[in-house]
Structure formats: C-alpha cells, structure tokens
Amino acid sequence: MCAIAGILDLEKGRRPDSEELANMLGALHHRGPDESGIYLDDRVALGHNRLSIIGISGGAQPIHNEDQTLWIVFNGEIFNYLELKGDLLRRGHRFYTPTDTEVIVHLFEEKGEECLKDMNGQFALAIWDKRKQELFLARDRLGILPLHYLAHRGRFAFASEIKALFALAEIPREMDPIAMEQIFTFWTTLNGRTSFRDVFEIPPGNYLKIKEGGVAVKRYWQIPCASPVEALQWPEQKICERLEELVIDSVRIRLRADVKVGCYISGGFDSSAIAAVVKKRFNNELRTFGIQFEEAAFDESEFQDLIVSHLATDHSFIVAKNQELHDCFAEVVRHCEKSLLRTAPLPLYLLSDIVHREGYKVVLTGEGADEAFCGYNIFKEAKIREFCAKRPDSKWRPLLFRTIYPYVFKDERLKKMASAFFTKGIDRKDDPLYSHLVRWENTGRTKIFFSDALKDAIGDYSGYEEIREGLPPDFDRLDVVTKAQYLEMSVFMSNYLLSTQGDRVAMAHSLELRPPFLDHRIIEFACRVPAGLKMRGLHEKYILKQAFKKILPEPILRRPKQPYRAPIAPMVLSGDMWQEVLSDSSVERAGLFHKARVRSLAAKLGSLKKLGEIDSMALAGILSSQLLYDQFVSGSGICVRQKVSPALVFDYRTGSDQDKIHSGVARS
C-alpha cells in the first residue's frame, strides 16, 4: 500500500507548486514511509509515498511508459500482475522496474480504461496522459482502497486521504450536513460523499476522467446479483469444489510479496479459514495476530486459542483495555475522517500498531465472507420477516426470532420489546429496502441529538430515496436475501467496513490488509450461488463451511456468528476526554448537536447509568463528530504532521533542468 496525491490546473492559469504537493505527501506519510517521489509539468503535479512490498529495489514512483507520455502514481496491489506482464512482454512492451505498478501503465497504454477489467487487485490510481492532457483516476471494484477528490477555483486535487486535500491552504473546510444525516442513519456516508462539504470519494468500481475542464465519473463494475432463475444449477459438491479452488487461488496470489505476510485471526470462521488455507497449502511457519478483550462480552479468545492451537501458528495478540481504547479514540477519528457510531475500529488500530512493530507490512484478513455468503443476522432477519409477512398468524413468528437472538428473549424485560422491534415493518415487503429499514430507522433515532441548525441544513433530504434511486434496474427480480446482500455490500461494506475498520486503522501504522474473499472472482461466483446454499434454513455461510470443513475444527464450524464489537460507554468513562468534548461551549462552537440534549446524555453517562443501544451509538457519534470538527474544521496544522522531501523528482515544467530528467537521474 502507499499514498497518492495530485493537483491539476483546470484552466491553464496556475501551475502546480511542488511545495504544495510536498505538503500533501507530508499529510500522508503514515501510508508510505519508505520513500517519496513526484512528477511535475505545467498542468499537473503527481505525488507518491511508498510502502515497499513488491519490487522493493527499483520500484519508486511515479513510473512511466517507454516514451514517458504516460505517468502513474498507484496505491495498492495487482495480484495477477505476473500473468499480465507476460502477455504485455509478448506484445512488445519493455519494462524498467519489477513492479506491478509498471504493468498498469503498459496495460493502460494498450487498452485504456478497459484495462481495469483485466486487473485482479485492490487499488487506487492516477494516470496522466501527457499527449492528451488527460487525467485518469480509478478505484478497485469493491472499494478496498480510498481515493478522494475536489475541485476548487479552477484546480482539481486528489488524494488517498482527505487530510492531504486540506493541506492545500485555500481549500474551505466544512462539515457536510447531508453526510451527518447519512452517518447517523446508515453508520456511514453513501457512495461518493464524505464528511466534508464539496469533498468527494470515487465510488467502488468507478473511474474518473478529466479533460479540458470536464469531469466525468463512470462505472466499470457492478455487484452482479443473480435472480433465482439465473442462479447456478450445479450439484452442491461441484459448487463446493469450485469455491474451494477460487479461495485457494485467491490466497495464493495474495501471498505475492517481497516481504513477510501474516494473518489476522479473530476466532470466527472467516479468518480461521483463510489462515488454515495459508498454513496447510503455502506456509508452515505462519505468523498470526488477534485481539482479546478486557470485557468478557466482547471477547472471542476461547475460539481464537482453539484455531491457533489447531494450526500451530506463531501467534501474538493484544488485550483491548478500555483505557487504551479511550486514549487512541481521537487519533482513530483523525485517521478515519468520519463520524463513528461504534468503537470497533479502536482495537484494530491498536492491533495494527503491534503488527507493524513486529516487522510485518502485510496481513490477510477474512473480510467479505459474511457479505458474500450470508454471515450476518440481518440476512436471517430478512428471511424470517418475509416468512412472517406471508403467515401473520403463525405461532412460529416469535419463536423464529428467538432462535437467532436467544440471549435477548431470555430477558423478560426485553422479550416484549424485542418482539415488537423484530416484527416492525413486516408488512412493507414490497419496499426494496425491506431487509434493512428497521435497523436503519432504529439507528436514525440518534438524530434526536441534532441541533436545529443542522436539521434545517439537512432539510427534506432522504437517504432512503437516494439508495432506492441508485439500485440496479432489475433489483425487484431478486429474492429477499439477495437484496439484503446487495444493500450490505453496496452501502455498508465498502463505505464502513473496508474503510473505517479496514484501510484507515491499518494504514495508520503502515500495514496493508489483503482480504482474499474479496477477490472479484469469488464475489461474482458467490452472487450466482443459490441463496438457499449460502444460508441453509437459518444456518449462515452453509456452502462456504462445507467447502472448508476438512481443514477446520468442528467448534469453529458450529459456532454461530458473533458480531465484532467493542465497548462504548466503559471506554469513554476510562478517561476525561468526554467532559471537554461534550461541554456546552464545545457543542455550541461546532453547532452540530442540541446543547441541552447532549448535556442530558453527559449527565446520564457521568452518573454511571448503563446506556442503551441508541444512547451508546449517539455518544460515539457525538464525540467523534465533535473531534472531527475540532481536528479538521476549526483546528490548524492538524493535516501536515511531517515534512516530505521527495528523493525522486521528474520536473517537466517550463524552464526546469530537462537534461537530468531525460538521463533518468533522480534529484532532490
């Protein structure tokens, strides 16, 4: 992984400045501490910070094609680069580095934007076509890696993280009211929007082209959900065999690196399956890493220890203590650049620090399996709701929800409330958002804490309508579980899971995450597997477990999905940060929340009363939003923490020393 940044003069009136670009790279030093490079001409400035993983020697960027008419800065990995390179060599292309980055620039030279369809990887990239005076940006199919942009006063800027855009002095910094509305409903912004007004993110599976002042964003890949009649009609055994082949090959190519590769292990099925494939097929000296919790309600150490013992890996773990979680909260918000309604990113931030300290730059993870193979309870809920809607008088109605939430229905105080919650909206089965509406509406109760000014700024905007309008044209033909899968992947996975709990907290410590289950071949195959095989009855990930039951212990296969969570109120109470952040003066200064209601929440927290789910989410959301405002809107100097002096400079600006550039000599 790396960091990329750049500036394009849209009106040919203001040549990009190398000092500005260096400041942008300085804000992104954590993503690529190994080396930096820049390209400059009279229209564009491209910058790169490198975390060297493939082609450690001779892989500095920017990288160019044979005649130096195409220049690329690239963040990520193209896992099938060796196969692509072989074909390009046969076509006559000449390479001067051993990197996957150079493969992209030659592939783009050959196919233009169609090259994206050939690339199996996780990436964010920018290519400058010097002849056409055209800038091309692209992001991987599933949004594993970030890429942000903005246009302001005749200039276009892009960067891996927003803080690099704010390193440009003239860029205004404002919280986006619509983003607040989205986050406090869906836990995240919707595709393309960020927490800040006029700052955008290229959606997953999209590319952007800029030529002669025109900016166009286009989709090149879509989640290919299949209706029941389009699903595979293969025997179960054949589906298992093909799925096993795809996962093994995905792991194989994701182990391509010139550095050590480890694995995360949580104790759940997904990470255990990946670690088992690595250990048994590729690496007998596997290094694994995990999280345990001070609070028993969040801890999975029993199962984590079981799989470590089963695989005999060299394992390290952290114990996530409330005090440590409290102490890193503000820094996690700075890296995530988004309000947080949950604290799950905090332990992952601490874990990535330990992994980095132990000399690892790459780990494989289990993300994507739950979304692709129905691992979450929300898929079970959708199935049960549909059944209940068809059979409203069935005596099985309350019992079905009890099967997936036995701990809730054991509590007499919660039983009636839970029954009402899970059957709410059961008659809205024709709504395309049927599977998620109850959850989203429940989360939306946190908006009671919004200030009147924020509510006025939001107006009558509806995030539900935005999602409905963006659904594929044939969405109605899908079954209820497949619809739920699409919503989970398109709304939650890339915008929250792979960002806030993924790339941001890992790259804060220069750590690259590689999720094999998110190989596009696996996602495309999973979308064609019948829903009844992904979830057999109410048994999640049935076909995936069948495919890997030979290499995992029975308790790992049998255990139900335990959602990964972290404490909120106990973490907040471990320090005194909340008292200042929730003070009347702080709340009034930001103007985002209702002062009296926040004061009431703070009083409830201070009296050590147990907070309910809504209050807990609201607490995390308010604290993180206040910190986000202080760090990025009202704060000064927060964006650039380290000066960068690029070791590699290609300077094509009028009046520069062309001889040194043409001779290939790097100069600082």
Q: What is the pLDDT of residue 215?
A: 86
Give dist(CA 479, CA 484) in Å, integer: 9
Output the average pLDDT for the chain: 92
What are the tokens at 350? 């601490």
- Whether 18 and 45 have beta carbons less than 8 Å apart is answered as yes
Residue 20 confidence (pLDDT) above 90: yes
In the numeric block, which tokens belong to residue 290? 């995990």
646 or 72, which is more confident?
72
Bridging pattern class, strands 44-50 and 206-211: unpaired
Sheet holding 287-293, edge to edge: 314-320, 287-293, 261-264, 362-364, 512-514
pLDDT above 90 coverage of the chain, percent: 80
| Backbone phi, psi, residue 126, to 5° | -135, 130
Cβ proximity of 593 and 450 under 8 Å: yes
Of the candidates 77, 78, 4, 76, the one whose C-alpha atom is nearest the C-alpha of residue 44 is 4
More confident call, 637 vs 611: 611
What is the token pair recorded at 365? 């993870």
As a whole number of angstroms, the distance between CA 572 and CA 579 comes to 10
The superfamily (CATH) of domain 2-171+643-662 is Aminohydrolase, N-terminal nucleophile (Ntn) domain (3.60.20.10)
Mean pLDDT of 232-261: 96
Q: Are strands 35-40 and 206-211 parallel, antiparallel or unpaired?
A: unpaired
Name the pairing type of β-strands 44-50 and 35-40: antiparallel
Q: CA-CA distance, 502 to 78, in Å (whole number)?
A: 18
Residue 652 to residues 41, 46, 212: CA-CA distances in angstroms? 4, 12, 20
- Contact call for residues 666 and 647 (beta carbons, < 8 A): yes
In whole angstroms, what is the distance from residue 346 CA to residue 323 CA? 11
Residue 636: predicted pLDDT:
57
Q: At what angle are helices 269-277 and 301-311 packed, to 10 degrees?
A: 10
Calculate mean pLDDT across residues 266-280: 96
- Nearest C-alpha neighbor of 292 from the set 347, 248, 343: 347
Whether 53 contacts 77, CB under 8 Å: yes
pLDDT of 666 higher than 70: no
Token pair 């836990």 in the structure block, residue: 187
pLDDT digits over 492-539, tens only? 999 999 999 999 999 999 999 999 999 999 999 999 999 999 999 999
Residue pLDDT, tens place only, 311-339: 999 999 999 999 999 999 999 999 999 99
**φ and ψ at residue 470, rounded to 5 degrees:** -95, 0
- CA dihedral (290, 501, 338, 453) in degrees, to 10, reads -100
- Ramachandran bin of 532, using left for φ above 0, alpha for ψ from -120 to 50, beta for the remaining angles: alpha
Residue 625 amino acid letter: S
**What are the boundaries of each domain within the chain?**
2-171+643-662
The pTM of the full predicted model, rounded to 2 decimals, is: 0.94
% pLDDT > 70, the chain:
93
Which of 288, 280, 239, 369 is closest to 551 using CA atoms?
Answer: 280
602/553 Cα distance (integer angstroms): 46
Backbone angle region of 155, left / alpha / beta, with phi > 0 → left and psi within -120 to 50 → alpha: beta
